[in-house]
Amino acid sequence: MKHEMFMRMAVDLALENVLTNKGGPFGAVIVRNGRIISIGRNQVTAKNDPSAHAEIEAIRAACKYLNTYQLTGCELYTSSEPCPMCLGAVYWAKLNGIYYAATSKDAAKIGFEDEYIYKQFNLPIEHRSIPMFRIVPENTYAPFNAWIKQPYKQGY
């Protein structure tokens, strides 16, 4: 029953966001041990920030609240299946699970490019719609070598 309550909240956040003209139709809630840790609304247009998706906003708020960069033990409830960027952030944050309502195909039907971006990942670099070029200066691996030797590094 709690799953449905948290999902309803994520969807309500998405609806409120649209009705108040504050951003796209996406909302997210992060929960830990049955308690809401953070919420997020799509703020892309409000902040002029293409990374301000509801899931990212919720992850940032949860990390700040819990004073950590890993959200192990937390679950994400989101009004729509996470886009590739948000899915990557979920993995980096090490959330325990994702619950979603609408699918990426549903989002594509109303003009969101999630499916298109997912397809781009599977293409060889030279066939992607945004060209990528590798440039390798002599110091390319200096940061990696310094990382390997760093005795006080904190892995993530």
16 by DSSP, 3-state: which? helix
Distance of CA 133 to the CA centre of its chain: 26
Q: What is the pLDDT of residue 154?
A: 85
Edge-to-edge, what's the strand order for the sheet holding 97-102? 35-41, 27-32, 74-80, 97-102
pTM of the model: 0.92
| Torsion angles phi and psi, residue 57, rounded to 5 | -60, -40
Question: Tens digit of pLDDT per residue, the chain (156 long)?
Answer: 799 999 999 999 999 999 999 999 999 999 999 999 999 999 999 999 999 999 999 999 999 999 999 999 999 999 999 999 999 999 999 999 999 999 999 999 999 988 889 899 999 999 999 999 999 999 999 999 999 999 998 888
CB of 106 closer than 8 Å to CB of 80: yes
pLDDT for the residue numbered 156? 82
Q: What is the pLDDT at residue 155?
A: 82
pLDDT given at position 147 = 93
Type of residue found at 102: A
Question: In this structure, are residues 107 and 128 in contact, taking their beta carbons and an 8 Å threshold?
Answer: no
Cα separation, 104 vs 111, whole angstroms: 11
Residue 13: predicted pLDDT = 98
Of 55, 75, 81, 115, which residue is the catalytic one? 55
Is 55 annotated in the active site?
A: yes
Q: What local confidence, expressed as pLDDT, does residue 115 receive?
A: 85
